[in-house]
Structure 1
């Protein structure tokens, strides 16, 4: 995103923060497909993905006064989406009495679980091939779910460097996994949706 787009997004979010419903509808129209596809990748259910997506945007509206302080709205949506998906899957687990360390895997059929494990193993193998700093940053971000600020502090680097390493790591992983399109789809579920 260039500076012009970033400024436009900030202006739009400032309008939403001020209660402008038209600006909010613009934000929803732009981000809805991305948020929905991310939720669908995890839930495998259109109605559930739509409910999660609506909940995410409802929270954005309810907490709109905080929008001007958010440095990256895309990251904010990603984290909100991830948390909403995890919350939804925990509810399912509690309702069905199932316990699992990986709610996504539990929602799959046995043959799909095996395929999921194989694909996830390929991603971990690809991560091992990354240069050390990219590997450290990507692992902290995508597997340990730390924020850019937390990673920067932990590794004693700037937030800009964290972002750069993540972009480079994703590019390297996509190249490494180019012959495995189904694995690239799983990579998207652990990478940012934007």
Structure 2
């Protein structure tokens, strides 16, 4: 069966055609993704996402002779999305966890200096948040209280805590994105 026939069958919902296309392209797409991610699990996840998108959009495929270009375009877009999500991920929590580890010794003062500098920048960024978002972020992330505990302390609904925390994180990500990139580079 040639690729053109496989595409026609895939458009009609053939699981067998999908499986054959997966066998034909999954290893090549994995290699392509791995060269950019340098992470086996992330590359595998992107491959799965590529083929899931192919399956979910099979009826709208316009390619007739080869599907290679479409698959690699989807992979490229998934890689871009993955990269963006890494840049936007709020790593402060991981950084605080790392710095709060009992294993840090007195000789690790450099980490505490970095932590103090970051905490100062965070406080400055938090000053731009509305008061409720400041309090919610402080309780949930800095004091590590649950959403329920935070809601009780602030006399607001738990859903309000979730909403305000989400908004605060979005603003702080934007404000601290350059600093976060530097911290990511330092920690790696």
TM-score (norm 2): 0.47
Larger Rg: 1 or 2? 2
TM-score (norm 1): 0.46
